[in-house]
Amino acid sequence: MADLIRVILSILLPPLGVFFRVGIGLHFWLNILLTLCGYVPGLVHAIWIIAKKSK
């Protein structure tokens, strides 16, 4: 259930979903950079981080 909430937050604002998954770290800052380059790269990265950390 928590991952579903993170995915919804990532759709609204990709760095927010990454922040709630891994905190402030390399992936968070990378996601901010990707989101600034374009919404879709940031979204893909956020979903990937959430799915990868779920296992």
pLDDT at 3: 81
Q: What is the DSSP letter of 54?
A: T
pLDDT < 50 positions in the chain: none
pTM of the model: 0.87
pLDDT at 30: 96
Q: Which two tokens stand for residue 45?
A: 């990265």
CB-CB contact of 18 with 35 (8 Å): no
pLDDT at 27: 95
Ranges of each domain in the chain: 2-53
